[in-house]
A and B are shown apart, each in its own frame.
Chain A
Amino acid sequence: MNRQEFQDYLRKKIMILDGATGTELQKLGMPNNVCPQQWVLEHPESIIKIQRNYIQAGSNAVYTCTFGGNRLKLDEYGLGNQVIEINRKLALLSREAVGHEHFVVGDLAPTGQFAAPLGTLSFEELVDIYKEQVKGLLSGGVDFFVIETMMDIQEARAALLAVKESCDLPVCVSMTFNEDGRTLTGTDPVTALITLQSLGADAVGCNCSTGPEAMLEVLYSMSKYASVPLLAKPNAGLPKLIDNKTIYNMDAETFGKYIPSFIDLGVCLIGGCCGTSPEYIAQISKQTTGKKPIPPVNRKISAVTSSRKTVFIGSGNPLTIVGERINPTGKKKLQESLKNNDMDEIFDLALEQIDNGAEILDVNVGMPGIDEKETMLQVVETLIGSAAAPLCLDSSSPEVIEAALRIYPGRALINSISAESKKLHKLLPVAAKYGAMFILLPLNDEGIPETANERIKVIHEVYSKAQDYGFSKEDFVVDGLVMTVSSDQKAASETLRTIDWCSDEFGCNTIIGLSNISFGLPERSWINTAFLAMAISRGLTMAIANPSVDLLMNIKMACDVLTGRDKYGRRYIEHFSQSDFLHKNESNNNLPVKPVTEQIYDAVVKGNKDGMIPLIKSAMEQNIQPGKIVDTLLIPAITKVGDLYEQKKYYLPQLILSAEAMKTAFEYLEPYLRKANADSNDQKVKIVLATVKGDVHDIGKNIVSLMLKNYGFDVYDLGKDVSAETIVNTAKEVGARIIGLSALMTTTMVEMKNVIALAKEKGLDCKFMIGGAVVTERYCQEIGADGYAEDAHQAVKLAKKLSV
């Protein structure tokens, strides 16, 4: 069956697939801990019986029993060296079962491992593992392929490329989604669909995952953007624990009632997954009798994807900002990082741009002194592991672009393809193979055309060639070619005319590299922003720009409202109601200034340590005594915070922020307080704090230390993993009235007992307070400690009680 025949079949007829195999094999006696593939080859009658039952129930196609037939899975049973033979034999068995009147589908499934950056395999290793299995299945004569139960879009891509690079047979890809509507590695259904159909899948869909009801939602979202037929294989409901046994509890008749809804969504290939049996397939057959398949909507869309996100371009969507900052030109820090293979700067630039509104990230690593291809691959791997935004792969080298496209787990945007002969003929087939979108740069071997009319000719030329590879106008974005206005003032109008023509006559999306326009001029952001607004009014759909420039991003948001791309101004309103604008305006209002005493109190209650020292200085200038600041402002304020915490109106970080603000005040006041107290007999209570020997968890103890200091205790914090001897000796040396011990684990809390025993042995007269995740009041009594505190706030109360 070739790809055209496959599509013709699905235009005329719904293809009924089979149901579950694993549970059916168990019914026929397959034990738990065996390799299913090997067991089936030893019991060939089992799979023949199961698959014939499915055909009798109404299936038109059965999957080969090769779910675990890849090298990595077979390796688990010591059979990794027999991949081709096992797959070949299993495909032949399926053929024997169903004959040539029905289809045998070569089944590829997860390897149990992932490609980098998630797992330890390289992408090419993964492709090769699938190619080996494909070879076996091809030699067994399968009619087409299905890549099923895929949890990771990158693994699905690897398998899809393996099939496409091995044969011309049709190939379907079926993902599995969690209850949150995403795959285990975070891909949503629309993103999976766009990525896979762009990469050449002949059908895309969903199996396993959930029962039929939830799967309908997944397929509904896919159906709006599908250009290929949809596939569905739902489970027989969700597994439930009944009498301590896990059971799929949806009966066949109930299952069958959902089938017409699948067909109405455009599902042309339908079967069952876990928990289903021939009885369920019979229901599918019954429910689809007389029904015709509904062809995919095949709506033309411009969209790029990452593994976790789709960005739609143009068609009334807001202007898309492509963040320009991952480009070493003129950036010494980034250049150094790239030279040293240090990806932290890349990570920071990516997150900063996304935070500021970039929806796509341009990635250009071209600079002297590095291997551009290797560096590009490293940067792409870093970004796909850490940033959700789709990437725009930017290089003058076709080899670099191709290498990056191969490992990129989504539909990328290529920057760029021009009519230059060395680029056009190399990059168009590569873009087509990987299903990428591209920026059409209207220049040719003769250079950059000056006028819009000349650029339009080049656009026609590239488009004509692109059509040969199956591209439509939605698959590229024309670069308006922004030239520097300081050297040619007509440059801006030629770019605008190009955008005009693309938007109004030709009908395609446009992009500009914005900052070129102002090169050589002072205060460039004014020119950049003005030009962006002008270009948007001509229909511009994307801009490569620096999203960290507020002026630019604010004008972009305003333009989106004014051009009707931001429906009801929702994004604009949301953005500006959250932004610092309101806070800045708040601070400019004319409210009367509070007295400094109130401000100090508020600073502690609100946890504002940065403003504390100027306030304390101001209070002292007003002759408020340090002791009075502590007694009448700081202590009441932290007590108020403690009350708010106890009432659960504050949570722990607020308690800590207040404690830090108070500590800042204390540290400033301490010399003055010491001087004032020099003549008095007031002595602070000394406390030795430590995380006991063998334990390295100290965050809780650190917080207790901070809080105790704020309440006037003299704290000797010995740190973590501290021996009993050190604790006891220090307590003796400083004259501690209390020893506070912390431990997080059951294996280390026993050390608390040793500390108490040693202290008693050495005749130390002090109290013991203990705390930590595994410590309890009961344990406290058991080891003879004087008190147990659940958290830092309780620890302060306990310390006060113990020091009386």
Chain B
Amino acid sequence: MDTGRITYFENIPAEPKMNMILARLGYHKNTTIINSEHQKTLEKSIRLGLGLAKLKGAYGYFNIIEKTNNYITLKNQQTFHSEKLSGLLEHSDAVVLMASTAGKAIVERISEETKNGNAAVALILDSVASQKADAGLDWLMEFINKLLKKEGKTLTRHRFSPGYGDLPLSNQKIIFDLLDLNKLDMELTEKYILVPEKSVLAIAGIERIESYE
């Protein structure tokens, strides 16, 4: 499984879910009332955001060589310390590391709109970009799953990202380096923040599909 090869995508065709974009903006179905003018601003800004966010991504398979209740170590001696991650990977002997980024253009536009006094537009773009980056990971998981299923394997239902639960954000460096994300024009700051900021990394396990008995 551990192929050493990283696959890069230049233009992931994933569309974020509209309800997630709205939920992030504090929209409550059946309660929030948007007049036609605001509706137009919203639709126009979402369209703009979807056009500006050029979704790129990468993934690679890595074998697990050691696994305990509170850490996992990959083939190249990179270790993730996290009980929750170890739990997620209980039935896995390999992982897939993934990255998705909405790119620089939309982040620059968010700053520009804020500077020009269009904070509402900036906010909508921000929501689109965040959801689009997440949609990129959903898309990658769906893609990888389809390839794996024919071999009788599947990804774990959930993925795990550094900065959540008990997996410190510093683990972004392991994923960033293993996927060589400089190739997607991404950077990692010394505080482990991804640039462009609308970027996400994740780990999921690869496990067997059991036969129906």
- Using CB atoms and an 8 Å cutoff, list the residues of chain A in contact with chain B: 20-23, 25-27, 32-33, 36, 67-68, 75-77, 109-110, 112-114, 116-120, 149, 151, 176, 178, 184-186, 208, 236, 239, 241, 244-251, 273-275, 277, 347, 351, 385-386, 583, 606-609, 645, 647-654, 656-657, 659-660, 663-664, 694-697, 699, 702-703, 706, 745-748, 774, 791
Contacts and interface: CB of A to CB of B under 8 A. Distances in A.
B119 interface: yes
B176 interface: no
A703 B32 contact: no
B197 interface: yes
A69 to B, nearest CB: 12
Contacts of A663: 117
A67 B150 contact: yes
A110 B147 contact: yes
B146 A151 contact: yes
Contacts of B12: 118
Given A178-B142, A694-B193, A695-B191, A274 B149 contact: yes
B177 interface: no
B193 A748 contact: yes
B114 to A, nearest CB: 5
A334 B3 CA distance: 45
Residue in B8, B13, B63 whose Cβ sees the most chain A Cβ within 10 Å: B13
A412 B98 CA distance: 35
Given A22-B151, A702-B114, A748-B191, A651 B22 contact: yes
A32 B143 contact: no
Given A118-B9, A648-B32, A657-B41, A109 B191 contact: no
A248 B147 contact: no
Contacts of B191: 694-695, 745, 747-748
Contact of B126 (A26, A648, A699): A699
A23 B211 contact: yes
Interface string B1-27: 111010111111101000000100111
B123 A113 contact: no
A277 B63 CA distance: 29
A657 B120 contact: yes
Contacts of B35: 606
B174 interface: no
Contacts of A659: 119
Residue in A27, A76, A609, A652 whose Cβ sees the most chain B Cβ within 10 Å: A652
Nearest to B90: A244
15 contacts: A32-B208, A33-B1, A33-B63, A68-B151, A76-B61, A245-B210, A246-B208, A246-B210, A583-B36, A607-B38, A648-B32, A656-B119, A660-B120, A702-B119, A747-B193
Contact of A112 (B7, B31, B37): B7
A385 B212 contact: no
Contact of B38 (A75, A653, A664): A653
A114 B211 contact: no
Given A385-B11, A696-B189, A606 B149 contact: no
Interface of B: 1-3, 5, 7-13, 15, 22, 25-28, 31-38, 41-42, 47, 51, 61, 63, 90-91, 93-94, 110, 114, 117-120, 122-124, 126, 139, 142-143, 146-147, 149-154, 157, 163, 168-170, 189-193, 195, 197, 207-212
Nearest to A706: B119
A72 B12 CA distance: 19
The 6 closest A-B pairs by CB, nearest first: A76-B3, A694-B191, A22-B152, A656-B120, A23-B152, A651-B26
Nearest to A307: B13
A699 B122 contact: yes
Contacts of B110: 699
A275 B207 contact: no
A385 B55 CA distance: 11
Contacts of A652: 25-26, 123
B31 to A, nearest CB: 5
Contacts of A119: 7-11
B212 A247 contact: yes
Given A23-B211, A68-B151, A660-B117, A651 B28 contact: yes
A274 B123 contact: no
A25 B209 CA distance: 12
A118 B209 CA distance: 29
Nearest to A583: B36
A347 B143 CA distance: 27
Contacts of B36: 583
B57 to A, nearest CB: 10
A762 B27 CA distance: 43
B3 A656 contact: no
A746 B193 CA distance: 10
Given A648-B31, A699-B110, A653 B152 contact: no
B25 A247 contact: no
A25 B114 CA distance: 58
Given A113-B7, A696-B197, A653 B42 contact: yes
A32 B1 contact: yes
A208 B120 contact: no
A606 B33 CA distance: 11
A244 B91 contact: yes
A703 B91 contact: no
Given A32-B93, A657-B120, A745-B163, 15 more contacts: A22-B150, A22-B151, A25-B152, A36-B151, A116-B11, A120-B9, A247-B212, A277-B211, A351-B51, A651-B34, A657-B41, A660-B118, A663-B117, A702-B119, A747-B192
A697 B197 contact: yes
Contacts of A112: 7, 147
A660 B119 CA distance: 8
A149 B35 CA distance: 45
Contacts of B63: 33
A650 B192 CA distance: 35
A699 B27 contact: no
A274 B212 CA distance: 11
Contact of A654 (B34, B143, B209): B34
A745 B169 CA distance: 8
Contacts of B151: 22, 36, 67-68
A535 to B, nearest CB: 32
Given A22-B152, A112-B7, A746-B169, A246 B207 contact: yes
Contacts of A76: 3, 5, 61
Contact of B119 (A118, A245, A251, A703): A703
